[in-house]
Amino acid sequence: MLEIPPDLTSEHKRLRGDVGNERLIAPAISTRELERLCEGDEHLRELLQATFVQCARYTEDVARFLQVEAKGRTAKESGEYHEIDEKRTRTHNATIDSINILARELTRHGRDGSWVTNLAGNRAAYMKFALTLTFDRMQK
């Protein structure tokens, strides 16, 4: 029996397509470059570590969401889909905040935080950055 896929918003469909896109190979700025920018400043290093942790949490939530989404209508009817989608959204918002705070503090400390301008105002760009930064970090 063929199951009808869940009814998704156009934004979510676009984000889902972005997750599967092979162009997601490298983040806007590498973990090595971010570490270099934070060298010698304990505050920046702590913010960077917090950003890495937040990006990893978001990556985990996206993976869980896609697993639940694959269950189709059953997950939607049980409420599991909506629950994980809300959690993913909250984590996404916290990840955006973490990335923005890091970039702002880099700039405030005389370091290059301009890379964040490529993400500004684009939730999908932040998503790509968080996922690719996590994978870049895992490959170290």
Q: What architecture is the 30-138 domain classified under in CATH?
A: Orthogonal Bundle (1.10)
As to burial, measured by CB atoms within 10 angstroms (0-12 exposed, 13-18 middle, 19+ buried), residue 2 is exposed
- For residue 131, which of 22, 5, 43 has the smallest C-alpha distance? 22
Q: Identify the pLDDT of residue 19.
A: 53
| pTM greater than the 0.75 cutoff | yes
As to burial, measured by CB atoms within 10 angstroms (0-12 exposed, 13-18 middle, 19+ buried), residue 51 is buried
CA–CA gap between residue 102 and residue 74 (Å, rounded) = 40
CB neighbour list of residue 7: distance below 8 Å, 6 or more residues apart: none
In order along its 140 residues, the chain shows pLDDT tens digits of 444 444 445 544 555 555 554 444 567 888 999 999 999 999 999 999 999 999 999 999 999 999 988 888 888 888 888 999 999 999 999 999 999 999 999 999 999 999 999 998 899 999 999 999 998 888 76
CA–CA gap between residue 98 and residue 96 (Å, rounded) = 5
CA–CA gap between residue 104 and residue 99 (Å, rounded) = 9
Which sequence spans correspond to the domains of the chain?
Answer: 30-138
